[in-house]
Structure formats: structure tokens, C-alpha cells
Amino acid sequence: MSKMPQVFLKVLGCGEAFDEHLGNNSILCYGKKTPTILFDCGYQIPPRLWQEKKLYPKLDAIYIGHTHADHYFGLPAVLYRFKEEGRSRPLTIWCPKGAIKKIEQLCNLAYGNFLQQSGYAITLIELKDRQQLLWKGITLECIKTIHSVLNLGVKLTFTNGKGLFFSSDGKLTKRGFEKIRYCDVVIQEVFSLKRPHPYHTNLQELLAASDVLATIGTLAITHIAREERDKLIRYLKEKIRLGNLVVINPQEIIPL
């Protein structure tokens, strides 16, 4: 009997927008029989991606959750370096509805009109809430969160049956919580311990959905405000006994 393909997640960055140590929130997904996908590509991410010398040339797709600088301003550098290196492998970029124009403007501002002369196929696809698609055997489902701009978290089901949710940013809605139920790995932004925010989750809000959290394999917290991180980690160690809840760090590898 052949083994089911394994999937791994490598943390390139897990910081908020202006964290000088942890890098922008970004995950690299890969596996022997799995397409390589980058989730979010903020302005601090290209050098971290390029250090993955075996993985980054094999990049098949980039998923952009929303159009804030710390989630997509790294695209021009990544795409232009591929052009410079003579890439021929096609690349798919998923983004929220209305984002293609912004991506094209960003790339033009950075390096001129190179998208149409890249030397490799770049396919930009806009997505919307509740949209589902099948790509290279992987099922993707978009899940809108509450954020200051349109943010689409994404749930992926891989060929080995494993489920991943990547929030990118924003508060989960009631539907969002139901959709992450029974996921093997959930990567969710948690901006603070208790401090309320209209467009970000805090830990108390997340823990209130304890019935859902109990069904998740690994609940990985990311995108913590730089002044809140130590306090939040200390609180988790002292008060919380959820064995599946972890605060992720750069270079960490999470099996799926």
C-alpha cells in the first residue's frame, strides 16, 4: 500500500505589520507529492523565502489574504527575481476580489511593466467569500473574516484528507468558527490577550469558542502585537491547559 503524501508547513514569519524581529505573517506549505504554496507575502518575506533554496524555485502558488502591505508588498521582488533567474514554471496567484489591479499597480511601480514580460506564466485569480475551487487535487474554500479591508481566510483539504485553515488576518465570524471545526491545523491571527479591536482577534474571543477549539488538531497563534507577545505567552503558560494551542515562531515546521 502506498503511503499518503505528507504535507508540511514552514513558518517564514509570524509577526504583525511592524515587528522587526519575527517577520510578516507568512507560511510556506510543501510536501513530496504536494504543490508548494506560499500564504501571504509581505515586504519582509522575500529574503526569508529565498533562503529556502530547495523550496522556493518549486513554488506553484501564492495566496494573498488581503491587500495590506505586510501581506502582499513582497510580491514584486519575488516575481522579478524569478524573471531574473529565468524561471519557466507557471505560477498561480490567488487574491481577494478587486486585488488584481492593486497587484499590477504595485508591480509596475516597483519594476515597470514586467508582469507581461516575465518569461513565465503568471495567472492572477480573484476570489470571493464562500468560493470553492479544486486545484491540483487540493480543495480550497474562501472564508471571509472581519477586517478593515476584504480579507479571505482559506480552508484547504489536501489529497491525504488533512485540513488546514489560514486566517491571514481578522476576526472569525460564526460561520468561520464552524468551518474550522475538525481542521488538523488552524493558523489564526491573535493580536492581543484581552484588548478589544474592531478588526483583529484577541485571545479571550478565540477561547470563547472552546467547543470548536477542542476539535482542532493544532491551533497555531500568529500575528501577535509586538507589545503583547510576551504577556500572551506568559498567560498561556500559567492559565491555559489546551494542549493543541501553540504560539508559532519563525523557521518552525508544522506537520499536517
| pLDDT per residue as tens digits for the range 152-167 | 999 999 999 999 999 9
Range of the domain at 134: 8-255
Cα–Cα distance between 226 and 191 in angstroms, integer?
9
On the question of pLDDT at 3 being above 70, the answer is no
Mean pLDDT of the chain: 95
pLDDT at 2 over 70: no
Angstrom CA distances, 8 to 13, 37, 152, 163, stand at: 15, 11, 22, 12
Query: Quick check: is 68 in a domain?
Result: yes
Range in 34-38, 62-66, 112-116, 118-122 the model is least confident about:
112-116
Q: How many residues does the chain have?
A: 256
Is residue 1 one of the residues assigned to a domain? no
Pairing of strands 185-189, 218-222: parallel
Total of domains in the chain:
1
- pLDDT, position 239: 79
Q: Can you name the residues that pair with 151 across neighbouring β-strands?
A: 145
Residue 9's beta-bridge partner residues?
29, 254
Q: Is residue 3 part of a domain?
A: no
User: What pTM, to 2 d.p., does this model score?
Assistant: 0.96
The answer to whether 247 and 221 are in contact (CB under 8 A) is yes
CATH number for the domain harbouring residue 92 = 3.60.15.10
Pairwise CA distance, residues 80 & 53, whole Å? 16
